[in-house]
Amino acid sequence: MCGIVGYMGDRKACPILIKGLHRLEYRGYDSAGVAMVNADGNLNVFKCRGKVDDLEEYLKGKDDSGTIGIAHTRWATHGVPDNVNAHPHYSESENIALIHNGIIENYRVLKDALIQKGFNFKSETDSEVLCNLIEYIRNEEKCELAEAVRLALNKVVGAYAIAVLEKGNNDQIVAARQSSPMCIGLGEDEFFISSDAASIIDYTNEFVYVNDGEIAILRRHEPLKIINLENKDAEFNITNLDLSISQLEKGGYPHFMLKEIFEQPDTLVDCIRGRVSPETAQVILSGVLDNREKFIAAKRIIFVSCGTSWHASLIGEHLIEDLCRIPVEVEYASEFRYRNPIIHSDDVVIAVSQSGETADTLAAIRIAKEAGAFVYGICNVVGSSIARETHSGSYIHVGPEIGVASTKAFTGQVTVMAMLALAIGKERGTIDQDVYEKIAKDLLVLPEKMTEVLRQDSNISDLAKTFTYAHNFMYLGRGYNYAVALEGALKLKEISYIHAEGLPAAEMKHGPIALIDIELPVVVIATSEKTHEKTISNIQEIKARGGRIIAIIREGDTQIKKLADWVIEIPALCDYLMPVIAVIPLQLLAYYVAVYKGRNVDQPRNLAKSVTVE
């Protein structure tokens, strides 16, 4: 959470920092600030509660000059979102300014020690503690800023991506990373710093990803220098990122979420491209081919993930158990990491993450690697921490997802999982050739089927009006569609703030059926051929109790059409792939309900796109 950005070069820093903050706002948006050193060496910090727009307003008439600066958009962890807790933080003497993404776990001990030394604190943050610790060490040791940062970080326990400026020095930024993302963009005699390369893609496509335990020293007119916490030079590679600016804009849509929903037919084409042959319907996934033996020998597959990625993993469980006959477990990364899990060297752990930066998923990967498992990543963000820390993997290639509610990442993840299951099943000889060909052919038509579903946009928008004032929703699905029910419920609650519960349809009668009445809309995802009759029984149980049903059905399903109050018909595909299109009406329903309720769809309250804290 939190976004950090920095700049040093010949241009005015402030507009670059503000633009970067706007792009990073998905990471947190409760307060924002900038620090710049002007030509006279003054270190100016401007910050306020609210969004980056509020900061821009606040900056009017202030000294925003300087060709060096750092900036921050916050998602509060320590201390309420207000002007004082906003970043950057000054050190006590106001000679140093610091921005921080992460959590300093031992900040209380450090703070007490600094108070003993006479330091005063203005904010409740752990970040101000680190800033003062750097100042204390700089004064005590009479050392350079970079050395003070290094010594301070050796005393710190926790996660951080920081950038530090000092008064009187407009030629240097010191930045460091531990478990929070950070990259350095390289320009012509200029440097950029960001939590996310996409935010600075306007200026450069050459990036260096800073690794955990590394400190980047950016000095004007000098090459980038990276050292580790032991003060040894660290080697680094320059990565070229192929990303277009248009992918980061709304492109005429009112919200990123709606743009991202409508992009899905194209993002699926990108996801499938080069992996499923249109001529032979063969699936080629290099990550599986390169690690054939690992997948053939796998005794168990464990998915680790969070949120929407966890829902996609539940579908991965069905796909792999059905087609590869390998036992699968699906774990919340946050539970897995603290449970002392039993992991064997012949386990394959699959980490699923859109951002590739989710702290719990990263921790789960590290535990699995330590236990000797082979770890495979399914990520979206190229070059992200999870992509780099896994042994191998497959990108979903759906492009930047900016709306906080995940949409195109889910469909990309499930699509990759279907290809993964086909590729592994083929290698293990567990998949029937007809089934293989049917799924592969359906994968090729997925984008056009999705376009057909999206044509129902205005009907779904009308339907959403009916339910804008509902207080609760229930979502039901069986088999593959249980995960779709969970995902539909999550979408609705996170952007509309309406309580919603996703359940396996058959579980309803074990308790939740007590909730059924005319006030409670029940969304039933009823597209599965395998469980069709059973789902009809569940619908009848709800109708018998006065419930109102919105059913997502296969085209031409007259039986459910007669029973449900509203239906959304979607084209037929094999059961394995139905979740990829069945989720579209649920994304649209959540979107329109949230819009009619006047919610901030792209930046819902209390949330951030990338959860880089525990």
Residues belonging to the active site: 2, 609
Tokens of 316: 């991965």
Q: For the CB of residue 334, give the shortest distance to ligand M6R in the complex, in Å.
A: 10
DSSP state of 208: E
Quick one: the chain helix, strand, coil %, rounded to 5?
Answer: 40, 25, 35
**Closer Cβ to ligand M6R, 52 or 490, answer by number:** 490
CA distance 372 to 145: 40
> Which helix H or strand E contains 389, and what residues bound it?
helix 385-389
Instruction: Count Cβ atoms below 10 Å from residue 294 Cβ, excluding itself.
Output: 19
Q: Is 155 exposed, middle or buried (0-12, 13-18, 19+ CB in 10 A)?
A: middle
The nearer residue to ligand M6R, 126 or 494, going by C-beta atoms, is 494
CA distance 320 to 131: 49
Q: Kindly give the pairing relationship between strand 191-194 and strand 3-8.
A: antiparallel
- In whole angstroms, how close is the CB of 453 to ligand M6R at the nearest point? 19
Closest CA to 430 of 528, 304, 298: 298
Which residue number, 132 or 407, has a Cβ lying nearer to ligand M6R?
407
What tokens were used for 244?
Answer: 């277009």
**Shortest distance in whole angstroms from residue 516 CB to ligand M6R:** 27
Nearest distance, CB of residue 120 and ligand M6R, angstroms: 37
Query: What totals of helices (H) and strands (E) does the chain contain, helices first?
Result: 20, 24
Rg (CA), the chain: 25
Residues 6+ apart with CB under 8 A from 510: none
Do the beta carbons of residue 148 and residue 95 sit within 8 Å?
A: no
Helix (H) or strand (E) holding 73: strand 68-74
- Closest approach, Cβ 491 to ligand M6R, in A, equals 7
Nearer to ligand M6R, 8 or 306 (CB): 306
Q: Which is nearer to ligand M6R, 328 or 386 (CB)?
A: 386
Of 184 and 489, which has the nearer Cβ to ligand M6R?
489
With a CB cutoff of 8 Å and minimum separation 6, the contacts of 118 are none
Question: What is the nearest approach in angstroms of ligand M6R to the Cβ of residue 404?
Answer: 5
Rounded alpha-carbon distances, angstroms, from residue 137 to 42, 132, 133, 178: 22, 9, 6, 20
Smaller CB separation from ligand M6R, 14 or 613: 613
Q: Which residue's CB is nearer to ligand M6R, number 174 or number 379?
A: 379
How far, in Å, are 94, 508, 613 from residue 181 at the CA level?
27, 41, 11
> Cβ 256 to ligand M6R, closest distance in Å?
12
Minimum Å gap between C-beta 307 and ligand M6R is 2
Q: Which two tokens stand for residue 605?
A: 């309250």
Task: Give ∠ CA 14-15-16 in degrees, rounded to 5.
Answer: 90
Instruction: Specify whether the CB–CB gap between 164 and 96 falls below 8 A.
Output: yes
304 burial via Cβ count (<10 Å: 0-12, 13-18, 19+)? buried
Residue type, 50: G
CB closest to ligand M6R, residue no: 307
CB of 416 closer than 8 Å to CB of 394: yes
Give phi and psi for 68, each to the nearest 5.
-140, 135
- For residue 332, the SS3 value is strand
Report the alpha-carbon distance of residue 127 to residue 85 in Å, rounded: 9
Residues forming contacts to ligand M6R in the complex (CB under 6 A) are 306-309, 353-355, 358, 361, 404-406, 490, 494, 610-611
Identity of the residue, 359 or 422, whose beta carbon is nearer to ligand M6R in the bound complex: 359
Q: Is 434 exposed, middle or buried (0-12, 13-18, 19+ CB in 10 A)?
A: exposed
At closest approach, how far in Å is the CB of 380 from ligand M6R?
8
Neighbours of 96 (CB within 10 A): 25
Q: Which two structure tokens, joined as six digits, stand for 143?
A: 């050392």
| Distance of alpha carbon 88 from alpha carbon 270, whole angstroms | 39
Shortest CA distance to 170 belongs to which of 305, 6, 37? 37
- Nearest distance, CB of residue 488 and ligand M6R, angstroms: 11
Q: Which is nearer to ligand M6R, 130 or 306 (CB)?
A: 306
When the beta carbons of 170 and 355 are compared against ligand M6R, the nearer one is 355
